[in-house]
Structure 1
Amino acid sequence: MTALGADALPTLDEVLSGSAVVSVQLTTRFRGVEHREAVLLRGPAGWSEFSPFAEYGDAEAATWLAAALDFGWRDSGAAVLRRSIPVNATLPAVAPDRIEAVLARYDGCRTVKIKVAERGQTLADDVERVRETRRLIGAEGRIRLDANGAWNLDEAEHAVRELEQFDLEYVEQPCASVEELAELRRRIHRIDVLVAADESVRKAADPLAVARAGAADVLVIKAAPLGGVDRALAIVEAAGLPAVVSSALDTSVGLAMGAALAARLPALEFDCGLGTGALLADDVAVAPVVPVTGAIGTGRATVDEDALRRLAAPDERAQWWRARLERCYALLAAPPA
């Protein structure tokens, strides 16, 4: 599960001794949350981050911890191929009159990923959000959609046909299952809209199943859910598909792990989803990882000690996260069954 191997893990005391639990307010409600919580870990290779979403079980969250320990206690041996990573703006499911203000936080980004299929909203809401985004970014801007698997097959086909008038780059995880993605791709093959897979890679027991099934044109990969930089690189190589590196609403420390992955991909055909630091009202880094002229740099984040104190999570939340980390660590350290 981790490049370190269970026998090479740092001790739990080493992991916890340099840890800090933070809670960072968002500028816009996203994924149903208004504050992003994370455990920051100080390892010999630099700062790392453990921040699986609260609803994930321990077995899934343990993979995120494996990635965090790998990044904090070991440097990837893969060659760094680029020092600047072009990124997209990420637009939550906001009303059209709020879009311009959200996009203004993403300096120079030419691509916008728009959240669609939000619970409680309709396709008409999505159409108006995409229409206003296209008006704001002009004909040369790029638009991609992210449904987080919320549509069934027929809904996805109808939505893509309704929205392709706005010149879409791709639609990310329109349906939940690999089988649905493959069938949708067959149905819309005459439309110039690509299908990208996210959850079908990072939440799958077999992250290569989507590629074998011909169910996607693009892989969306995240370093932490896939167990770290090296494991994510291996998945991309085995899949043989173009990849977009994305974030999980990380702090700058977690975004640096994503940037390290994007810096090592043999090819980078699409803007990456690593600009989400712009959605944070504050950050833990001396120099926050946010888009500047449409790109972010590579290299580890330097944590601001004053920010750790300012953004410290309430005691009960800090205890919750440390208990979760301990359970996940026990899973990583357990001998193979």
Structure 2
Amino acid sequence: MLPHDATLPPLDDLLRTARVVALPLVTTFRGIGIREALLLEGPNGFTEFSPFTEYGDDEAARWLAAAIDFGWGPTHPLLRDTVMVNATLPAVAAHEVSGILDRFPGCRTVKIKVADPGQVLADDVARVSAARDYLGPEGRIRLDANAGWTVDEAEKAIHALAVFDLEYVEQPCVSVDELAQVRTRVKYMGIPIAADESVRKADDPLAVARAGAADILIVKAQPLGGVTAALAIIADAGLPVVVSSALETSVGISMGLHLAAAIPELEFDCGLATASLLAVDVTDAPLLSVNGQLDVRRVVPSEALLEAHAASADRTNWWLSRLKRCYELLD
């Protein structure tokens, strides 16, 4: 899981600097209103371990490998010092769209969550229409279904939403085979298909590329095991990529920015502006978009904010136990 030549730092080194925070969100996202994260400090600087709480240890261990890679591993040449980013629009009602997008000043691209449980296609149409009105005709709209559709539902939905001039549709269905089917069915519309879960949750993250099931890969540093591992996957896949976040603090987003900055060709705006979805962050200088872009830099947390938003003792113990279990899997 770690690069074959990487050295695992002692567990005590991780535990000595571990801080667990619980940060409220501006609006519910992925069904949660509080984002928990565990921060660490290594020789390279601060890093983050924040797999979602429902993930099992096998999956979460990749996120720990990423934290160790960013805090203790090799550094990679940075090919750019800023990264263009997209706004992220949760599955909110149409009348809430402008208030959310106001938090992403200068972003020319919006990723819109669709296929949310409990909603219908009409809700998606209304949300996307409101976003198009907000952006104007020159703005870019991409959709993220989080594998929420069947193949038939995806075809119907994409047909209904194509009128809003879509840049691409991310993970419309669950399996690689279903993605390939959707890609074939909507090819005449000229709308690319992007793969997210089929990359970051797969035993073989390159399977979707080999199957010709996607035009674009969504890559996230933590779920893929870190910057070093993600760069290797990108090189082998041979497809355009979008670097995205996993609703991290600015420390975790910094990891994603360092990945994006190390990719030779970065054609698309990246989904790394999600600190704007946090009501509070861990730093006095959060990674918030300015003119639609983020600076590539390391982030140093504020001690006052770490204390003010420290998780409860029970939750801190839960995260430290998780860290120890995942470390054993790496070891």
* TM-score bin (small chain): over 0.9
Distance (Å, rounded) in 2 between the aligned partners of 1:315 and 1:14: 20
Task: Quote the Cα distance in structure 1 between the aligned partners of 2:210 and 2:328.
Answer: 33
Secondary structure at the counterpart of residue 189 of structure 2:
coil
Letter in 2 for 1:42: E
| 1:5 CA drift (Å) | 5.1
Question: 2:247: which partner in 1?
Answer: 249
Q: 2:149 aligned with 1:160, yes or no?
A: no
Q: 1:55 — aligned with what?
A: 54
Q: Distance in 1 between matches of 2:5 and 2:223?
A: 17
The 2-side partners of 1:152 and 1:137 are apart by: 29
Matched residue SS, 2:23: strand
Q: Is 1:269 aligned to 2:267, yes or no?
A: yes
Q: 1:306-317 maps to which residues of 2 (within 5 A)?
A: 306-317=304-315
1:28-39 superposed matches below 5 A: 28-39=27-38
Residue in 1 that maps onto 2:128:
130
Aligned in 2, Cα 1:273/1:227: closer, same or farther, shift over 3 Å? same
What is the root-mean-square deviation of aligned Cα atoms in Å?
0.9
Structure 1 runs not aligned, ≥5 long: none
Distance 1:41 1:18 in 2: 5
| 2:66 aligned residue | 67
Q: Name which of 236, 239, 249 aligns with 1:238.
A: 236
CA distance in 1, matches of 2:299, 2:136: 34
2:323 maps to 325
SS in structure 2 opposite 1:90? strand
**Cα deviation 1:178-207 (Å, max 9, x = unaligned):** 000111111111112110000000000000
Contact conserved, 2:107 with 2:291, CA < 8 A, in 1?
yes
In the TM superposition, 1:1-337 aligns within 5 A as 1-3=1-3, 8-76=7-75, 78-333=76-331
Counterparts of 1:192 and 1:228, CA distance in 2: 33
Give the number of aligned pairs.
Answer: 331
* Residue identity opposite 1:28 in structure 2: T
Separation (CA, whole Å) in 1 of partners of 2:306 and 2:129: 40
**Are the counterparts in 2 of residues 220 and 244 from structure 1 also a CA contact under 8 Å?**
yes
CA contact (8 A) 1:4 1:70 kept: no
Deviation, 1:135, is 0.7
Which AA in structure 2 matches 1:56? Y
Corresponding residue SS for 2:133: helix
Runs of at least 5 residues in structure 2 that lack an aligned partner in the other structure: none
Secondary structure of residue in 2 paired with 1:189? helix
Deviations 1:70-117 (A, max 9, x none): 1111232x3210000000000000001111000000010000000000
SS of aligned partner of 1:145: strand
Letter aligned with residue 86 of structure 1: M
AA partner of residue 227 (structure 2): V
Instruction: Judge conservation of contact 2:69–2:228 (CA < 8 Å) in 1.
Output: no
SS in 2 for 1:188: helix
Q: After superposition, what is the alpha-carbon deviation per residue over 1:198-225, rounded to whole angstroms, capped at 9, x for unaligned?
A: 0000000000000011000000000000
Q: Deviations over 1:222-265 (max 9, x none)?
A: 00000110110111111100000000000000000000000000
Cα offset, 1:303, TM superposition: 1.1
* Post-superposition offset of 1:4: 7.0
Runs of 4+ with >3 A deviation: none
Aligned-partner Cα distance in 2 for 1:231–1:70? 9
- Contact 1:4-1:74 at 8 Å conserved across structures: no
Q: C-alpha distance in 1, partners of 2:44/2:77?
A: 16
Q: Distance in 2 between matches of 1:326 and 1:94?
A: 37
- Equivalent residue letter for 1:25: P
Determine if contact 1:114/1:144 at 8 Å carries over to the other structure: yes
Residue 299 (structure 1) shift: 1.4
